[in-house]
Structure 1
Amino acid sequence: MKKYVLVGTGGRAEFFYGAIVRDFNETCNLVAFCDLNQTRMDYANRLLEEKYNHPKINTYIHTDFEKMITEEKPDTVVVTSVDRTHHTYIIKALELGCDVVTEKPMTVDAEKCQAIIDAINRTGKEVRVAFNYRYAPHNTKIRELIMNDVIGQVNSVHFEWALDTQHGADYFRRWHRDKRNSGGLLVHKSTHHFDLVNFWLDTKPEIVYASGGLRFYGRENAESRGVTQFYQRAYGSEYAKDDPFAIDLESNEHLTAMYLDAEKEDGYQRDQSVFGDGINIEDTLGVMVTYKNKAILNYSLNAYLPWEGYIVSINGTKGRIEVRIREQSYINSGGSKDDEGKVKEKSIMVMPMFGQPYEVDVVEGKGGHGGGDPILLQDIFGTPVEDEFKRAASHVDGAMSILTGIAGNISLNTGQAVKVDELIKF
C-alpha cells in the first residue's frame, strides 16, 4: 500500500484527498496534511471524519515539511498549495526520495520550471501533473479523431475560451490576482488549454506571441465605467451587498470554515473586491503559437463573459473539426459543488473536405468533466492500465503547457515573439 501526504489544504485539495480515502483506500494510505494554516488543516481533518468516515491524520505546519517526510516516510507527495510554492515542495519531495503528484500548473515561471527539471534529472524520481481535461471524453475523442487521420495533417487551430462572471471573476477575488502567485491566467488557467493542443496535435510549442491586459476588472476599469463606490473585501461591507461580483463567505458554511475562520492565522482574504486595487493579472488575452510540426494556434481568453465554455476549430488537409462545449461553472471551494465541471452542451462536428458533415457522438461518464475526473484519479491512484491515448501527463507535458503561458507573459512585457526552447533545457 502506497503512503501519501498532501501539502496545501485549500479549495482544490479535497479533490485528491477525498478520492484517496473514499475510492482508493485499499491501495492508498493518506497519512498527513501540511499547510501554513493549522485552522485549515483542522477543517480538512473534520471533513475526513464527518464526510468520509476516516480517522484524523497528522498535521504539519509548512516549515516542518521535511520533518513530515522524515517521520511519515510517504511514497508520494500530493502538491495542491499556492502555485508559486509548487516548485519548493516538488523539489524537496524529490530530494527526500518521494514521487510527486502536482496540481496544475507545475509552476509559474521558467526559472522555477528549470529547477524542477534539474531536480528530476538529479533524483530520478517522478512528477505527475493532474491535467483532468485530457480525460474528459469529448477531449479524448478529439485526440482520437486526429490520431486516426480523420482530417489529415492539422495546420491550424482556433481556440476561444470563455470564463463567465461567476467563475472568471473568482480569479480576481483570490490570491490568483497577483501574478507572482499564479503566473496570471496564461499560466494558471490556460495551462489546461495549451496542454490540450499539445495533446491533440502530439507536438510542442516553438514560438509564442501574446497581447492583452486588464480591461474589465480592477479599480481603474470600474471608475471608467462610472463606478463610485468601492470596498476592499465583501465581508463587513455594505457596498458588497449590492455587488453581483461579490462573494459572501458567511452564507456558505464550507467557505466560512476554510477561509473566514482561518484568517486569524495568515491574514488571507478570500473575498477581495474584483474592482479593487492590487490586481496585476490580465482578463483579456490573445496568443499566437507556432508549433514544432508547423501548425499554428490562435487562442483567446476572456474572464468576464455571460457564457462559460470553449469553441475550437481544427483545420487539416482533409477537413475540419468544430467543437463547442458549454460548461457549468462553479466557485472554487464553494458554490454548487454538484455542478463542478458539468458539461451542459456538447457538439463535435467533423466536416470532410469532400463529403457530408457529421456530428460525432461522445458518451459522457459520471463525475466532473464529463466523467474525466474519475478516470484521471484512477490513473493516478489506482492500478495503471494501457492507454492508447497516452493521457497521463509527465513533467515534460507539465513544462510544455506552462512554457506557452510563460512565453506569453514575456511577450506581453516585451512586445516580442518568444522562442520556447530558449527558456529552459531538459
Structure 2
Amino acid sequence: MTRETARRRCAVVGLGARARLYTEALAGPYADRFELAAFCDVNARRMAVHNEWIGRHVPGYAAEEFDEMLRRERIDLVVVCSVDRTHDHYIVRALEAGCDVVTEKPMTTDADRARRVLDARRRTGHEVRVAFNYRYNPVHAAVREHLASGAIGEVGSVHFEWLLDLKHGADYFRRWHRDKANSGGLMVHKATHHFDLVNWWLDADPLSVYAVGGLFFYGAEAGRRRGLARDYARVHGSPAAVGDPFAVHLADWPVLSALYLDAEGEDGYHRDQNVFAPGVTIEDDMAVLVRYATGATLTYHLTAYSPWEGYRVAFNGSEGRLELLVEESVWARPDARADGANAVMHGAAVGDEAGRTELVLRRFWQPPTRIDVRSGEGGHGGGDVRMLADLFGDGGPDDSLRRAADATDGARSLAVGLAANESFTTGRPVRVREVLAV
C-alpha cells in the first residue's frame, strides 16, 4: 500500500473488451482500496476509450514503455488482459519489479512461458492470481459442495460437454484467437476454464491426456465444401458480407466500434475477419480423455458450431450420480443485436431465448433429487462480480471452497490443454508431467 493514500496503485495492460470488467471495478466500487494509476496497450485509442467509460484520465503507456510505467507510476498490482501469447511477458516483468499480478485466463499459451511465470513467482515471492471466474458461479460452487460432501461417494468418471453456439463460437474465428500462435487454440484459451473446473471439482491432479481434434466447420476449406464461404477477408466495407449470418458489422455495435473499428489506424487489427477465410489454425471440434491421480477419468468434448449454447456435466460415483445441465441460450438468432462486446463474446445477445439450469442428484436406490440452484446476475453466471469481490474486496472470511486460483492452478489447467494439443499432433496419449510439471 502507498503511505499517502492507503490504496494500492494498479495498472491494467491490454485494454480490449474484457479489460472493461476491471477498469470499471477499480475506478468504481473498489476505488477506496485501489488507485487505477496507469494503462498500457499497443493502441492509444483503446486506452482513451476506457478513460471515456470511467469518466477520468488514467495515464496511458505504449507496450514498450511497460517497465518505465511500473517505475514511474509506482505500481503495486498489475492486471493483465493482453493477447494470450503476451501474458507471460507482462507477468514476469511485473513480478520482477516487485508487483503482484492478476491475469486473465489462460495464464499463458505454452509450457516454456508457463515455466517462466512459475520460476518468477518462486524467485520473487510475489503473488499471481488467475481469473478463473467460473469457480465463482453459484451453480459451480454447489457442484463442488456436493462432491466434497460425499453425496455420490468416490468419483469414478466425469462426462463434460461444452457447446458454443454459432454466434459465440464463430467469434473465436473472427479475432486474433483464430491463430494458434496467439491463443494456443480453444484447448488453451477456452477449455482452460473447463479443465480448471474439473481439477477444482475433483481436487485432483491430471496425469495423462489423449485427444482428437480438427477444423470441421470453420476455415476456408470447410466453408468452400459446404457452400458457406463468401469472398471477403473482413466484414467492414465488404459488399459480399452483407446478409452473411456469420458476419459481425462493427459499426452496428458501439463498444466494438469504439475499441476496434475506430482504432484500426494505429495497429491494423481487424476484429471482424471472415470465419471462412484462410488463416484459421485452431480446431473447432475436440474430444479429450483425461486420467486423474485419484483414478477418475474425464471425457470432454468442445463443439464451437452448435445451434444452442451451454453445457452438460455428469459425475459418476460409488454411491450415485450428479448431473448438471446449463442452457445459456436455446438457439442463436442471426439477427439478434445487443449494445456491447460482452454479448458477442460471452453469452446470449438480446433476442436470444434464455435456457435453464438443472442440478440433479441421483443416489443409488433412491428417487432423483432436484437441487435448487440459480446462476447469479452478471457475466459468467454471476462469477465475474463475485470474483471481483474476492480479488479487490476485503477478503472476508476464509473460503472453504478455495475458489482463489494461483499460478499453480493456472499451470495445471494449461497443462491439460497443452497435452491435448500435443495429442492432436502425435495421435498418442501424453503424460501431463512430460509437457509441464506442476
1:346 is matched with which residue: 357, 367, 377? 357
Relative to structure 1, the CA distance from residue 331 to residue 35 in structure 2 (aligned partners, 3 Å threshold; closer, same or farther) is farther
Residue aligned with 1:23, SS = coil
The whole-number CA distance in structure 2 between the counterparts of 1:341 and 1:401 is 26
Aligned pairs, how many?
421
Aligned to 2:105: 104
The answer to whether the 8 A contact 1:341-1:370 is kept is no
- Map 1:106-125 onto structure 2 (within 5 A): 106-125=107-126
Q: CA deviation at 1:145?
A: 0.2
Task: Provide the residue aligned with 1:48 in structure 2.
Answer: 54
Aligned mates of 1:318, 1:227 — CA distance in 2: 48
Give 1:333 shift.
5.5
In structure 2, give the amino acid aligned to 1:417. Answer: P
Cross-structure match for 2:412: 400
Kindly provide the CA deviation profile for residues 176-229 of structure 1, in whole angstroms up to 9, marking residues without a partner as x. Answer: 000000000000000000001001100111101110100000110011113463
Unaligned runs of 5+ in 2: 1-6
List aligned pairs for 1:235-314, cutoff 5 A. Answer: 235-314=236-315
Q: 2:8, 2:126 → 1: CA distance?
A: 15
Any conservation in 2 of the 1:84–1:108 contact (CA below 8 Å)? yes
Root-mean-square deviation (CA, aligned residues, Å) is 1.8
Change beyond 3 A, Cα 1:158–1:232: same
SS at match of 2:260: helix
1:355 to 366, 372, 380: 366
Q: 1:361-406: CA deviations, max 9, x gaps?
A: 1244332233222111000000112111000001111110111001
2:253 touches 2:338 (CA, 8 Å); kept in 1? no
Give the whole-Å Cα distance in 2 for the aligned partners of 1:313 and 1:365.
21
Aligned to 2:427: 415
Change (3 A) 1:228 1:402: closer
Shift of the alpha carbon at 1:23?
Answer: 1.0
**Is 2:253–2:339's contact at 8 Å kept on the other side of the alignment?**
no
Q: 1:264 to 1:284 in 2, by over 3 A?
A: same
* Partner Cα distance (2:405, 2:113) in 1: 18
Equivalent in the alignment of 1:377: 388
Q: Report whether the alignment pairs 1:200 with 2:201.
A: yes
Paired with 1:321 and 1:21, the residues of 2 have a C-alpha distance of: 41
- 1:210-225 map, 5 Å: 210-225=211-226
When the two structures are superposed, what TM-score results if normalisation uses the length of structure 2? 0.93
Any stretches of 5+ residues in structure 1 without a counterpart? Answer: 50-54
Letter in structure 1 aligned against 2:108: T
- Do the aligned partners of residues 379 and 148 (structure 1) sit closer, same or farther apart at CA in structure 2, a change above 3 Å counting? same
Conserved? CA contact 2:167–2:344, under 8 Å: no
Does the 8 Å contact 1:129/1:393 carry over to 2? yes
Distance 1:134 1:331 in 2: 27
1:7 counterpart (13, 17, 27): 13
Paired with 1:173 and 1:337, the residues of 2 have a C-alpha distance of 11
Q: Would you say the 8 A contact 1:341–1:368 is kept in 2? A: no
Give 1:251 shift: 1.3
Would the aligned equivalents of 1:12 and 1:332 in 2 still touch at CA under 8 Å? no
Q: Is the 8 A contact 2:160 2:313 kept in 1?
A: yes
Residues 414/332 of structure 1: CA separation in 2 closer, same or farther (3 Å cut): farther
Go from structure 1 to structure 2 and tell me whether the alpha carbon gap of 1:269 and 1:372 turns closer, same or farther (over 3 Å shift): same
Give the Å deviation of 1:273. Answer: 0.1
SS of the residue corresponding to residue 242 of structure 1 reads coil
